[in-house]
Structure 1
Amino acid sequence: MTQGISRLDLPRAFPDHTQLPESDGTFVKNFQEHPQSIFLTDSLTPILQQRHPDGYYAIGQDCGIYWRETDPPEQGAEAPDWFYVPNVPPLLNGQIRRSYVLWREFITPLIALEFASGDGSVERDRTPLAQNNPPTRPGKFWVYENILRIPYYGIFLVVTGTLEMYHLVNGFYEPLPPNERGHYPVNPLGVELGVWEGNYQNQAQRWLRWWDRDGNLLLTGREEAEQERQRTQQAEQRAQESEQARLNAIAQLQKFGLNAQQIAQALNLSIEQVQNIMQ
């Protein structure tokens, strides 16, 4: 270093997702949480692929969204049970995302969902960030509304199977009313979110599900495969029944002494078809 020039101390760079904890060490709160996240992602994937043909979107499931630097770092993050961020790469520099760092990417999630095991009071906590030292951890609702500014926020009460939805309007969350189907429109995605009762992952209960804007249920990959299997099975059954009906009709006409040509004319079939059936 040149004599007379002091060393310049630069502030350290803000950490990225590889330098921040990927978990706060808490347990998953109920057995429905992970299947519910998979259920939502699976059925929504075709919609997201249409909206993002370049693949630029990310789905988070119980992953931290870092919005400020704290010590410990986990105090500066919220971890929605499920959230969707548009227009961001699914990988960062070829690495799987460990968390979502807002000061690195700047794009806020479009929707965040919490699966509340209790009465939802934690998820509705509006406690603001206190300017004391160290600062008091603010409430989840307050962070989503005032810092992350997530346009759509849902609280699913697992015990009762009920859903509360909020929409950010002029900087504040307002309750989002359900439509005539009892669903909550998420207009930027062209879908509706609601509660469906049925069996998934060996659990028969109430689940969060997506519908399209016309009220058609968005199916999972397994449901689509099962629906296609049933359509194929029904088509085969109809073909068998039609074939059996032809056999019965030919047998009846043969009793009256009609030949193959006459039977073909009577049943509007070709002679070859009648002969093949009669063999």
Structure 2
Amino acid sequence: MSTEARTEQKSMIIEDWWEPPMPPTDLIFDDGEPMESNRHRIAMNVLIRSINQAFANRDDFFTGGNMFIYYSSTQARNRDFKGPDFFVVLDVDGTRERQGWVVWEENGRYPNVIVELMSPSTAEADMGVKKNIYEQIFRTPDYYVFNPFNPDSLQGWHLDANQQYQPLIPNEQGWLWCQRLGLWLATWEGTIDRETAVWLRFYDQAGNLVLLPEEAANARAERLAARLRELGEDPDSI
């Protein structure tokens, strides 16, 4: 057998045994760093609980917050990006538990909606490098930023036909439409978890506040009490 033939045969054997590189498996999902403030933590949980309430009859979505998102081997090794404060992914199995969002384990799916809860120390990144990642790598259709300590800080962008972010124009009330969720994002003033502030909340297409689970339970109790009074019954005695 000639040298050329042996080389070709060896090359064929190598090709038969070649396997693509495996993605990293030593991923971390908790860096031990808390959110900027207690208000930021509450604000994140309000958004998560609101979406779970709005989509209570669905199991084809996943919503998370302050979770790592891994999208490439390089990013996983460098750990130069962690993840958004709040995000929603649609058309996925929402019943499966996840420690974080690992794109290559999710059939290449990225978040459809992202909200960053800004602070003075994160605003530059949220409006700069992170916004670029969400636009150019994630291709996240709807992106918003809001500082829980600044009621007038809400801004949003939507990907246009050229896959570039264009600023969302607020309506007369200052609300921003979220096309992928079919909901409005706007502020609401009140007390949640014993903290009174202006919170970022979701509203339905008709302008009704998307209630948190405990708010929905209270509303049902109030309607029942009103009905009992109409019937001449004292709801406090039942």
- TM exceeds 0.5? yes
Shift in Å, 1:23: 2.6
| Structure 2 residues not aligned, in runs of 5+ | 1-8, 234-238
Structure 2 counterpart of 1:41, one-letter code:
I
Out of 149, 163, 166, the position equivalent to 2:154 is 163
What are the residue-to-residue correspondences of 1:174-185 with 2, within 5 Å?
Answer: 174-185=166-177
Out of 8, 30, 35, the position equivalent to 2:37 is 30
- Partner of 2:89, secondary structure, is strand
- Partner of 2:73, secondary structure, is coil
Structure 2 counterpart of 1:14, one-letter code:
P
Out of 39, 42, 45, the position equivalent to 2:49 is 42
Whether the aligned pair in 2 keeps the contact of 1:90 and 1:97 (CA below 8 Å) is no
Q: 1:154 to 1:74 in 2, by over 3 A?
A: farther
Which residue of structure 2 aligns with residue 114 of structure 1? 116
Larger RCO (alpha carbons 8 Å, 6+ apart): 2
Q: Percent identity of the aligned residues?
A: 27
Between the aligned partners of 2:217 and 2:126, the Cα distance in structure 1 is 36
Structure 1 counterpart of 2:146, one-letter code:
F
Whether the aligned pair in 2 keeps the contact of 1:63 and 1:79 (CA below 8 Å) is yes
TM-score (norm 2): 0.81
| Structure 1 residues not aligned, in runs of 5+ | 126-138, 242-279
Between the aligned partners of 2:220 and 2:95, the Cα distance in structure 1 is 33
Moved over 4 A (4+): 4-9
Shift in Å, 1:33: 2.4
- Partner of 1:122, secondary structure, is helix
Out of 67, 72, 79, the position equivalent to 2:71 is 67
Correspondence 1:191 to 2:205 = no
Which residue of structure 2 aligns with residue 223 of structure 1? 215
- Partner of 1:240, secondary structure, is coil
Q: 1:74 to 1:163 in 2, by over 3 A?
A: farther
- Partner of 2:227, secondary structure, is helix
Structure 2 counterpart of 1:62, one-letter code:
N
Between the aligned partners of 1:231 and 1:27, the Cα distance in structure 2 is 39
Whether the aligned pair in 2 keeps the contact of 1:192 and 1:210 (CA below 8 Å) is yes
Whether the aligned pair in 2 keeps the contact of 1:68 and 1:76 (CA below 8 Å) is no
Whether the aligned pair in 2 keeps the contact of 1:67 and 1:76 (CA below 8 Å) is no
What are the residue-to-residue correspondences of 1:100-139 with 2, within 5 Å?
Answer: 100-104=101-105, 105-118=107-120, 120-125=123-128, 139=129
Which residue of structure 2 aligns with residue 80 of structure 1? 84
Out of 23, 28, 36, the position equivalent to 1:21 is 28
Cα deviation, 1:83-126, whole Å, max 9, x if unaligned, reads: 0001122355xxx312212233212211001111217222011x
Q: 1:43 to 1:60 in 2, by over 3 A?
A: closer
Cα RMSD (Å) of the superposition? 2.5
- Partner of 1:155, secondary structure, is strand
Q: 1:46 to 1:71 in 2, by over 3 A?
A: closer
Correspondence 1:235 to 2:227 = yes
- Partner of 2:127, secondary structure, is coil
Which residue of structure 1 aligns with residue 133 of structure 2? 143
- Partner of 2:125, secondary structure, is coil
Q: Which moved more, 1:66-75 or 1:31-40?
A: 66-75
Number of matched residues? 218
